[in-house]
Amino acid sequence: METLFSDDYAQKLEALATESAEKYKNAKPFPHICFDDFLPLDAAEAALKVFPEPKTLTWTEFNEETQRKLAFNEVEKLPAALRDVLYFLNCRPMLKFLEILTGIKAVIPDPYYAGGGLHQIRRGGNLEVHADFNFHPKLKLDRRINVLIYMNKDWKEEYGGHFELWNKEMTAAEQKILPVFNRCAIFSTTSTSYHGHPTPLACPPERTRKSIATYYYSVGRPEEELNDAHSTLFQQRPGVRHHVSVRDILVAVTPPIVLTTAKRIRNPRVPQ
C-alpha cells in the first residue's frame, strides 16, 4: 500500500523526478513544475480533514497592501495527519526527489519551517508578486527550492487564487496554476523568480485558500544567482501602484557591472 513513508511512494517519487527533470529545467519563465495527485490520496484526505480553520489556531496574520494571508509554522502543534505530511516533506526520500528533479546537489531542509508550514487566505486576500527571501539567517544557508501543496477541494476557476509565475521583466504572468486539491507546485528560488497570487480571492465567504509550504536550501548557489541577502522583494505589476523601497529604486538605476562587483564583495558564499 502506498503511504507517505512507504518504499512504494519513495520509488514513485524517484521515477517521477527522473522523467520530469528535463521539463523542470526548461520551464519558463524560470525552472518549475506542477504535479497533480502528488501525495498519496489517503494522506492528502487526512491532512485536509484536520486543516485548522482561521479561528482554531493562533495564526500569524499579514494584513498589508502587498499581502493579506494567515501563516502557521509551529508544526509540532498540528494534528498528526498534517505533521506527518510536513515531516515527510523534510525527510530523505523527498530530498532525493528534489535533487534529481532540480539538479541541485545536497539539498537541505529547514527544521524551523521559516516562512513555511501552513498558509491560508480568506476571501479578498492576496499575495502580491514577489521574489522570496534568499538566505536563512539562522541556518546561514541559501534558499533554493519552494514546494507548495494546495488543499482546496472542488475549487472553481472563478474563485481565483491562481499561483502566477512572472517573467523577470515583470511584463506578464507566463504561467497561472489553479490551487486545486493535492496539486503540487515546485520552483527554483532566486532573486528574480517572481511569483504570487495578486488578484484578490473571490471564493465564497465560508471558504479559504489552503496550502502547505516547505522551502529548501544549499551551501552556496551558482555564481549567476548570487545576490546580497534580502527579505521578500515585492514587485510592481503593469498598471498597479504600490510602495517601492529605496533599495529597489537604487538597484534599478545602478549599472549591472557595479551591482555584480558589489555582490562579490558583500557575499562571500561559495557558489556550487
Residue 38 pLDDT: 98
- In this prediction, residue 226 has a pLDDT band, given cuts at 50, 70 and 90, of confident
Judge if the upstream peptide bond of residue 29 is cis by omega within 30 degrees of 0: yes
Distance, in Å, from the CA atom of 140 to the CA atom of 136, rounded to the nearest integer, reads 5
DSSP characters over 146-193: EEEEE--TT--GGG---EEEE-TTSS-EEEEE---TT-EEEEE--TT-
pLDDT in tens, 68-100: 999 999 999 999 999 999 999 999 999 999 999
228 sits in which H/E element = none
- In this prediction, residue 242 has a pLDDT band, given cuts at 50, 70 and 90, of low
- 70: closest CA among 86, 55, 50? 55
The fraction of the chain above a pLDDT of 70, given in percent, is 88
Say if CB 98 and CB 104 are below 8 A apart.
Answer: yes
Distance, in Å, from the CA atom of 236 to the CA atom of 109, rounded to the nearest integer, reads 31
Lowest mean pLDDT among 57-71, 74-88, 152-166, 255-269: 255-269
Distance, in Å, from the CA atom of 169 to the CA atom of 249, rounded to the nearest integer, reads 15
pLDDT in tens, 126-153: 999 999 999 999 999 999 999 999 999 9
Segments making up each domain of the chain, as ranges: 7-266
Does the 7-266 domain belong in CATH 1.10.10.10? no
